[in-house]
Amino acid sequence: MLKHDYMQVSQDQPIYSEAPLQLLLFVDGRPKSRQQVQRIRAYLKELQAEYSFEQQIIDVGQQPYLAEHFKLVATPALIKIHPEPRQILAGSNIIAQLKNWWPRWQSAVEAYLKLQEDLQERIDDNGRITSPKSTIRSVAVSAELIRLSDEIFRLKQEKENLQEQLQFKDRVIAMLAHDLRNPLTAAAIAIETLQSNYNLETGQFQRLKPSMTAHLLKQARSQAKIIDKMITDLLEVGRGQDTEIPILPQKVQLGKLCLDVIEELCDRCTSKSQLVETDIPNDLPYVYADPERIRQVLVNLLDNAIKYTPEGGKISIAGLHRTTQKVQFSIGDTGPGIPVENRDHIFENHFRLQRDEGTDGYGIGLCLCQRIIRAHYGQIWVDSAPNSGAWFHFTLPVYPC
């Protein structure tokens, strides 16, 4: 009986073969393909009584790189890899194809053996006859090279991501030290002024009118909220892009929430003599959203509008019952606008326009807005033209009745 080799392709030890005909049978774990594979193997077993060939079974689930090496699009598949040329049989009629091609394969084997006889045996320096390494071994090596190449590419990407994160961390530390100084100083001055004018015996503020006392308290509270926003944004971006933002949706009156945020930021608008116009319909339906998360979005968008709108400029806020399922909210300004080539990038993490390099901030606010809106299954986008201001729009689902 002629020898029939059956083994799994392995990287652990060299594989050498004397069989002139070498076949690979690719299988998978699908129940539907098991019967077909059993029939193919049974037919090959019948052939082994008459013909010498090497057959190796490859599970694509365990060795996917071999399937990639042969560019297989379906399994099971039977591949003749030696002698050349390579040939792949696939589909539901592999046995019928094998019956058709087997005589031709045998002719190719006979021609190969005749050629080998005519060639002078290769002899090494020690006078020993050497045989060529198995074609199957070279296939396994090629597959391993593919796997290592993919692994190197993945590690290179991880290295680049880590380098970017380290660079961003350094920038954030530098900007945080700068940005926190202003609100901390303002809050400290307000608190120290209140403290120096407070009489412990009478429990009253001396030399300060009630209106000034209220203003200083409001100033300290406002600056504390600014600091809180900076820390919140940094914590959010530290969660990473692949982490879903948790939300607790409930019935929310979006117009009222927006007016509350405007009230919190009104001092900044007043200091720049900016006009704030609102167009929020009284019958705007409730939305199904997390109020704290949407407040983050409104604060970020309004903060940007105030920051980039020049003194005496205008900020617009509008609500629209867009469809029965969606409410659209828009915030516009009369700032410098956003160039067309940058509109697809401004929502990327850490992206900043060249004109923003001297402006306070980390370039993460719009990225957070996008992640929050997407967590609500909404959309956010920008309409803008250079020197004509920017309009940011986002949608949220209507609260179900």
- pLDDT tens, position by position, 226-275: 777 667 766 665 555 555 678 899 999 999 999 999 988 888 898 899 99
> Are 62 and 29 found together in one domain?
yes
Cα dihedral sign for 156, 162, 165, 171? negative
Closest CA to 133 of 242, 52, 225, 15: 15
Domain boundary among the residues 100, 119, 138 is at 119
Residue 135 within any structural domain of the chain: no
Residue 268 within any structural domain of the chain: yes
Residue 148 within any structural domain of the chain: no
> Are 223 and 262 found together in one domain?
no
Number of domains in the chain: 3
pTM: 0.49
> Are 35 and 92 found together in one domain?
yes
Domain boundary among the residues 213, 238, 263 is at 238
Q: Does residue 318 or residue 164 have the better pLDDT?
A: 318
Of 153-167, 172-186, 324-338, the range with the highest mean pLDDT is 324-338
Residue 133 within any structural domain of the chain: no
Domain boundary among the residues 172, 203, 238 is at 238
Closest CA to 14 of 146, 130, 149: 130
Residue 276, phi then psi, degrees to nearest 5: -110, 120
151 pLDDT above the threshold of 70: yes
pLDDT of residue 173: 64
Q: Is residue 387 very low, low, confident or very high in pLDDT (cuts 50, 70, 90)?
A: low
What domain range includes position 186?
A: 154-238
> Are 111 and 162 found together in one domain?
no
